[in-house]
């Protein structure tokens, strides 16, 4: 099977590592545009993943069997539609189906129609409407941009002015705003493979959104994650499948926009039960790094069967009993500002328990690897228990040198101590 992976982040690197680990030969995989780490494992192209015609032309010319879309931007650009029109199997929803992520208000409409449990929300288009909604729901204030915002569209704060400023920054860009009730509880990320009709669950993970230890600082795209979640009640995955994933996919089909690809369910376990915080239309980062590190089943086959409507006859994905932890190394100033390109050293995977998934990296002509963005890389470890997995991950990340960089030191710390994280 010839596979093209679209994207350049740690998520895409983790997908490629999982493809290879579960049986796909590296020579069968191409990535665009990739990064310094991905280029060490597979061929990388200089194509913009959102350039629909260029991606489609290359895939047709090179007889690609499966395209895996990593980030949301190519989905919203319609790359899946174009490829499917040419008969190429795509793991990633259509442009219309991707609105499940691209429009928070659309997602709320789908959940309402499908009777999926979620929090109350109010759509706003002006700052005055936002202020009224904030008064209605009260603190802590939850404000979301109704559109793609690279993981930075949400603020949860006790500071009303900060909530208003956040809303204004997106209203000024022409985006709508959702103000939601605050839901208190443990957050869980659970991915489902969907072929438009059938859904199959992967394994739950929990990520850490705040920039600094003890859940302090601004929201980020994610600073670390772990899997599995030993504190979840028995039957949790089945309940989410029955109450959330299946009704959502069924409703999307009834709307004439079948959802084919990865349904990311961002959930919260409240005192009143499971509720959906958000949907994404692709693998999440950094949860993908731990979920796929534990995957035992052949990833290429699973994704191809989802892309071609064959999940009804597919065995449920299997996972290792070992635990996985990932810690994100971020550049100076992330997420509020960006640092210039800086050299990275110490990128050594000399422990069988650990691998490094590159994100914002590139290799210069002289061989130096430099950082090119906010979240630079993820150190991913797997071991028999959380204590060992954390030990392995932090030992490696402590040896990576990048001026001004930072990372959280408390990823999976509470679950390591036998407490809920």
Q: Is residue 105 part of a domain?
A: no
Q: Are residues 305 and 198 in the same domain?
A: yes
Q: What pairing do the DSSP bridges indicate for beta strands 154-157 and 199-201?
A: unpaired
pLDDT of 302 higher than 60: yes
Q: Are residues 412 and 295 in the same domain?
A: no
Other Cβ atoms within 10 Å of 320 Cβ, number:
13
Q: Is residue 101 part of a domain?
A: no
pLDDT of 89 higher than 50: yes
Residue 338: pLDDT band (50, 70, 90) is confident
Q: Are residues 142 and 210 in the same domain?
A: no
Q: 182-186, 225-229, 286-290: which has the minimum mean pLDDT? A: 182-186
Neighbour-count burial of 2, counting CB atoms closer than 10 A to its CB (0-12 exposed, 13-18 middle, 19+ buried): middle
Last residue of a domain, one of 153, 180, 207: 180
Please tell me the predicted confidence (pLDDT) of residue 241.
98
Q: What pairing do the DSSP bridges indicate for beta strands 43-44 and 29-33?
A: parallel
Please tell me the predicted confidence (pLDDT) of residue 395.
96
Please tell me the predicted confidence (pLDDT) of residue 367.
96
Q: Is residue 318 part of a domain?
A: no
Q: Are residues 329 and 309 in the same domain?
A: no
Q: Would you mind telling me the total number of residues written for the chain in this entry?
A: 421
**Distances in whole angstroms, Cα of residue 251 to Cα of each of 110, 111, 142, 395:** 7, 9, 26, 46
Please tell me the predicted confidence (pLDDT) of residue 417.
72
Q: What is the CATH number of the domain that holds 387?
A: 3.90.600.10
**In terms of Cα–Cα distance, which of 289, 284, 188 is closest to 231?**
188
Please tell me the predicted confidence (pLDDT) of residue 150.
61
Q: What is the mean pLDDT of residues 158-164?
A: 92
Residue 210: pLDDT band (50, 70, 90) is very high
289 three-state secondary structure: helix
Q: Which residues have C-beta within 8 Å of that of residue 243, sequence separation ≥ 6? A: 116, 117, 274
Q: Is residue 99 part of a domain?
A: no
Q: Are residues 24 and 73 in the same domain?
A: yes
Please tell me the predicted confidence (pLDDT) of residue 421.
47
Q: What is the CATH number of the domain that holds 165?
A: 3.30.1490.20
For residue 361, what are the domain limits?
323-416
Q: Are residues 202 and 255 in the same domain?
A: yes
CA R_g for the chain: 20
| Percentage with pLDDT > 70 across the chain | 98
Q: Are residues 213 and 302 in the same domain?
A: yes
Q: Is residue 244 part of a domain?
A: yes
Q: Are residues 236 and 253 in the same domain?
A: yes
Which residue reads 């640092």 in tokens? 339
Per-residue pLDDT tens over the stretch 370-413: 999 999 999 999 999 999 999 999 999 999 999 999 999 999 99
Please tell me the predicted confidence (pLDDT) of residue 154.
85
Q: Are residues 238 and 357 in the same domain?
A: no
Per-residue pLDDT tens over the stretch 59-70: 999 999 999 999
pLDDT of 202 higher than 80: yes
Neighbour-count burial of 115, counting CB atoms closer than 10 A to its CB (0-12 exposed, 13-18 middle, 19+ buried): exposed
Per-residue pLDDT tens over the stretch 104-122: 889 999 999 999 999 888 8
Q: Is residue 113 part of a domain?
A: no
- Domain count for the chain: 4
Please tell me the predicted confidence (pLDDT) of residue 151.
60
Please tell me the predicted confidence (pLDDT) of residue 402.
98
Q: What is the CATH number of the domain that holds 284?
A: 3.30.470.20
Q: Are residues 309 and 198 in the same domain?
A: yes
Q: Is residue 110 part of a domain?
A: no
Q: Are residues 45 and 82 in the same domain?
A: yes
Please state the φ and ψ torsions of residue 287, each to the nearest 5 degrees. Answer: -60, -35
**In terms of Cα–Cα distance, which of 215, 243, 71 is closest to 156?**
215
Q: Are residues 330 and 406 in the same domain?
A: yes
Last residue of a domain, one of 155, 180, 205: 180
CA torsion through residues 34, 210, 270, 235, sign: positive
Which residue reads 């040896």 in tokens? 399
pLDDT of 195 higher than 80: yes
Q: Is residue 334 part of a domain?
A: yes
State pTM to two decimals.
0.92
Q: 152-156, 210-214, 413-417: which has the minimum mean pLDDT? A: 152-156
Beta bridge partners of 124: 177
């Amino acid at each position: 099977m010839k596979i093209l992976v679209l994207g350049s982040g740690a998520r895409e690197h983790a997908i490629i590592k999982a493809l290879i680990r579960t049986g796909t030969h590296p020579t069968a995989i191409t990535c665009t545009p990739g990064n310094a780490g991905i280029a060490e494992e597979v061929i990388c192209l200089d194509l913009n993943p959102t350039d629909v015609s260029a991606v489609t032309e290359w895939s047709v010319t090179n007889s690609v069997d499966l395209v895996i879309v990593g980030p949301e931007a190519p989905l919203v650009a319609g790359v899946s539609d174009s490829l499917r029109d040419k008969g190429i199997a795509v793991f990633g929803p259509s442009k219309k189906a991707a609105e499940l992520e691209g429009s928070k208000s659309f997602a709320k409409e789908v959940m309402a129609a499908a009777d999926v449990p979620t929090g109350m929300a109010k759509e706003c288009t002006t700052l005055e409407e936002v202020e009224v909604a904030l008064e209605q729901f009260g603190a802590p204030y939850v404000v979301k941009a109704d559109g793609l915002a690279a993981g930075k569209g949400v603020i949860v704060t006790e500071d009303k002015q900060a909530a208003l400023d956040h809303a204004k920054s997106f209203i000024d860009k022409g985006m709508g705003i959702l103000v939601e009730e605050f839901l208190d509880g443990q957050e869980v990320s659970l991915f489902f493979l969907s072929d438009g009709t059938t859904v199959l669950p992967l394994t739950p993970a929990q990520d850490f959104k705040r920039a600094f230890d003890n859940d302090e600082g601004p929201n980020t795209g994610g600073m670390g994650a772990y899997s599995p979640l030993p504190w979840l009640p028995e039957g949790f995955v089945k309940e989410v499948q029955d109450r959330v994933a299946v009704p959502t996919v069924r409703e999307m089909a009834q709307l004439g926009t079948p959802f084919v690809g990865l349904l990311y369910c961002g959930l919260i376990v409240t005192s009143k039960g499971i509720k959906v915080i958000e949907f994404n239309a692709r693998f999440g980062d950094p949860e993908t790094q731990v979920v796929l590190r534990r995957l035992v089943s052949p990833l290429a086959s699973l994704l191809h069967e989802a892309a071609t409507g064959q999940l009804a006859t597919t065995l449920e994905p299997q996972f290792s009993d070992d635990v996985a932890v990932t810690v994100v190394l971020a550049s100076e100033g992330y997420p509020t500002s960006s640092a210039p390109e800086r050299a990275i050293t110490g990128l050594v995977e000399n422990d069988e328990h650990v691998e490094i998934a590159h994100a914002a990296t590139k290799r210069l002509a002289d061989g130096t690897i430099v950082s090119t963005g906010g979240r630079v890389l993820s150190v991913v470890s797997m071991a028999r228990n959380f204590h060992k997995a954390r030990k392995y991950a932090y030992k490696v990340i402590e040896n990576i040198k990048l001026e001004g960089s930072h990372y959280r030191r408390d990823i999976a710390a509470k679950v390591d101590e036998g407490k809920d994280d």
